[in-house]
Chains A and B, each alone.
Chain A
């Protein structure tokens, strides 16, 4: 009797499962493409962007599944190796992305996305092999500069500085009036190199031309121009808040975002954070001050995010269709509106809706674009240029190293590159 009941239950369960599977197959021919990224804060914004695509292609659903920044690289490698990787992948630039490509997990885009030929070459190169195989669509770049509080500047009738001397004069004025000049802290060292040195230092070391000389091994970070950049950013130390050594990245964003400091040296990606913290009405932006009046601005416009396609996707046709859309001006416009501070490389005419993003972009035509100083090639192995720069500048701000010693520290660590 018991056996008969058990058999009946099993039969019911099995039939229900088979029927429900069949219904899924019949009721939706929808294909779900998984899209992964390291920016967990973008879920709602990316979902709104993807809705536009799904409207045009109702059978394709995009499931945006970001993973925490610090876990992203490991998780991506692991999932691709296990054959469970996302169909569409946000890829970091240069060596990080190239390491993923070398696992033979990404599709070549040269023929698939012919539009790449019209993208800026420098951006496409950030996701290309030395043999010129493109494996990523350049999706977004970010700029580095100085945010300021309009109300504090207006209170003391301060102008927007164009040169370094004007910048320092403003810092002195603000300090003498008892204001917290910068929200900057040095506990998280990546910011010191990626934003302060690469952003503000580029005007002193000579921007892209100097960076190319580093890459071709003709120059060293101890050369006078790079050393001057160390010295200049070291001048800002006296304007940092008390016990700045213990202030981390989040705290500095909060200090500035809540109106408790006059300036914040930051990246364009921070627009959304400041919007959430206290609104953008009182927030202004200016590009890194040049060394002398009339100098051409060396603007750090860093290639930040590319998009790649998993070679082993179950839905290659649908993924290809979506990738083509990602390389279109329509996506670029939606992306820049939803994520102000991220600038698209897709050729086209765009209207930016965010005032701060517009301000940041307004400096581009009159400038020479460059990327972070030692990001490309010089960070391909340990000890990476990125790490060394962060460590050296942190030690310099802590008073453990002079600017000269900081440059030597980096150069010594980079000996593997020059061998």
Chain B
């Protein structure tokens, strides 16, 4: 944060400029166009990851907490990708989706969906959702783990009573499971939010620090890295401006976390009443 108030050529900027870096960031098009682009991408990225991890993670957890043969194995398998490195996951997805020798396009052709084959990571319309899907796939198991532990801790007698009263699985989910594990939904959402707004590794591995193609996958993490550390020819803005970007990231993440905490505590209060 201190460096965001300075400018200079070296890695440690030493010329004090007050809030000039922030003024430049929000008033000069060359800076704000990239900043708001990354912000917009981050919102889309967060939205996709939240849908996959929260909604599908919750449904998966409800499913595997039902008594059936092999539910423990499913739990273990769903957590396996989380143990991999983000870079490894990124490179694996990149290989699978490679338009020249990737297996995914061959698979689509094999099942007769040749017309749906696209340059997945080369098209600005598909690149960001694909990267978001890769992250969601990796951390899906984490959400499942949180939700299953929450569901397991619900008093079984409440669920049994609801069943006797004729509640189906849908009502059980909406009126018993969801209110009971709402704090966990909040925690998972906040973790996804923090992870997504500071995400760098997956972008580095799959689309590069320029957020190719055409900055369509540029997130705050890659924007900060490029602007703070790259040379001017490669998109660097100097360490002072990079620090200003990092400071804004910190402010946005803090406000977001505060907002989610407030939202989920109010929601919980509503249910408690």
Chain A residues proximal to chain B, CB less than 8 Å: 70-71, 73-74, 77-78, 80-81, 92, 94-96, 99, 102-103, 185-189, 241-248, 251, 254-255, 375, 379-384, 386-387, 390-391, 394-395, 398, 400, 413, 416
Is B98 part of the binding interface, using a Cβ–Cβ cutoff of 8 Å? yes
What would be 12 A-B contacts, judged by CB atoms less than 8 Å apart?
A81-B11, A94-B233, A99-B231, A185-B99, A187-B122, A187-B212, A243-B105, A379-B232, A381-B232, A382-B31, A382-B232, A398-B214
Q: Which listed residue, A74, A187, A189, A375, touches B121 by the CB 8 Å rule?
A: A187
The 3 A-B residue pairs with the shortest CB-CB distance in the complex, in nearest-first order: A246-B119, A246-B122, A245-B122
Set of chain B residues within 8 Å of A379, measured between Cβ atoms: 232-233
Q: Of A81, A95, A242, which is within 8 A of B231 by CB?
A: A95
A67 to chain B, nearest CB (A): 12
> B11 — which chain A residues lie within 8 A by C-beta?
74, 77-78, 81
B233 x A96 contact (CB < 8 A): yes
How far apart sit A108 and B244, CA to CA, in the bound complex (Å)? 34
Q: Select which of A78, A189, A244, A386 is within 8 A of B119 by beta carbon.
A: A244
The answer to the question of B118 belonging to the interface, with a C-beta cut-off of 8 Å to chain A, is yes
Q: Number of B interface residues at 8 Å Cβ cutoff, please give it.
A: 39
A375 to B231, CA, bound (A): 12
Q: Report if B175 contacts A (CB, 8 A).
A: no
B236 and A247 form a contact (CB under 8 A): no
On chain A, the residues within 8 Å of B124 by CB distance are 398
Chain B residues with a Cβ under 8 A of chain A? 9-12, 30-31, 94, 97-101, 105, 117-124, 208-210, 212-215, 227-237
Say whether B99 contacts A416, CB under 8 Å: no
A394-B119 Cα distance, complex, nearest whole Å: 14
Contacts of B99 in A (CB 8 A): 185, 241-247
B235 touching A382, Cβ below 8 Å? yes
Roughly how many angstroms separate A248 CA and B127 CA in the complex, as a whole number? Answer: 13
The answer to whether A99 and B232 touch (CB under 8 A), given A77-B11, A242-B99, A246-B121, is: yes
Which single residue of chain B is at the shortest CB-CB distance from A92?
B231
Q: B119, B210, B212, B231 — which one has the most chain A CB atoms within 10 A of its CB?
A: B231
Known: A77-B10, A102-B9, A186-B122. A245 touches B232 (CB 8 A): no
On whether the beta carbons of A243 and B119 are closer than 8 Å, the reply is yes
Q: Which residues of A contact B31 (CB under 8 A)?
A: 382
Q: Are A386 and B100 in contact (CB under 8 A)?
A: no
> Quick one: which of B10, B105, B123, B234 contacts A386, CB cutoff 8 A?
B234
Which B residues touch A95, using CB under 8 A?
231-233
Q: Least Cβ distance of B198 to chain A in Å? A: 18
Q: How far is the CA of A379 from the CA of B236 in the complex (A)?
A: 10
Contacts A243-B122, A246-B99, A251-B100; is A189 near B235 (CB within 8 Å)? no
Q: A243 contacts B9, CB within 8 Å?
A: no
Q: Which chain B positions have C-beta within 8 A of A103?
A: 9-10
> Do B118 and A243 touch (CB < 8 A)?
yes
Given contacts A245-B122, A254-B100, A382-B235, list 20 more A-B pairs with CB under 8 A. A71-B229, A73-B229, A74-B11, A74-B229, A81-B12, A187-B121, A188-B208, A245-B213, A246-B121, A246-B122, A246-B123, A382-B30, A382-B237, A384-B235, A386-B234, A387-B233, A387-B235, A391-B215, A395-B214, A413-B30
Rounded to whole angstroms, the CA-CA distance of A379 and B227 in the bound complex is 14
Task: Determine how close the nearest CB of chain B comes to the CB of A255; give it in whole angstroms.
Answer: 6
The residues of A that contact B118 with a CB separation of less than 8 Å are: 243, 246
Which of A73, A245, A251, A254 is the one whose CB lies under 8 Å from B236? Answer: A73
User: Which among A70, A189, A254, A380 is the interface contact of B232 at CB below 8 angstroms?
Assistant: A380
Task: Choose from B117, B210, B215, B230 the contact partner of A73 (Cβ within 8 Å).
Answer: B230
> Is B210's CB under 8 angstroms from A189's CB?
yes
Q: Are A241 and B30 neighbours in the complex by a CB distance under 8 Å?
A: no
Distance in angstroms between the alpha carbons of A135 and B100 in the assembled complex: 44
A391–B213 Cα distance when bound, in Å, is 8
Q: How far, in Å, is B121 (CB) from chain A's closest CB? A: 5
Residue of A nearest to B118 (CB): A243
> Which chain A residues lie closer than 8 Å to B208 at the CB level?
188
By a CB distance below 8 angstroms, the chain B residues around A398 are 123-124, 213-214
In the complex, chain A residues whose CB is within 8 Å of the CB of B119: 187, 243-247
| Contact in complex: A416, B30 (CB < 8 Å) | yes
- How many Å lie between the Cα of A185 and that of B213 in the bound state? 12
* Identity of the chain A residue whose Cβ is nearest the Cβ of B97 in the assembled complex: A246
Name the CB-closest residue of B to A79. Answer: B11
For B122, what are the chain A residues with a Cβ–Cβ distance below 8 Å? 185-187, 243-247
Q: By the criterion CB–CB under 8 Å, are B212 and A382 in contact?
A: no
Decide if A74 touches B230 in the complex (CB within 8 Å): yes
Across the interface, A70 reaches (CB within 8 A) one of B94, B209, B215, B227, namely B209
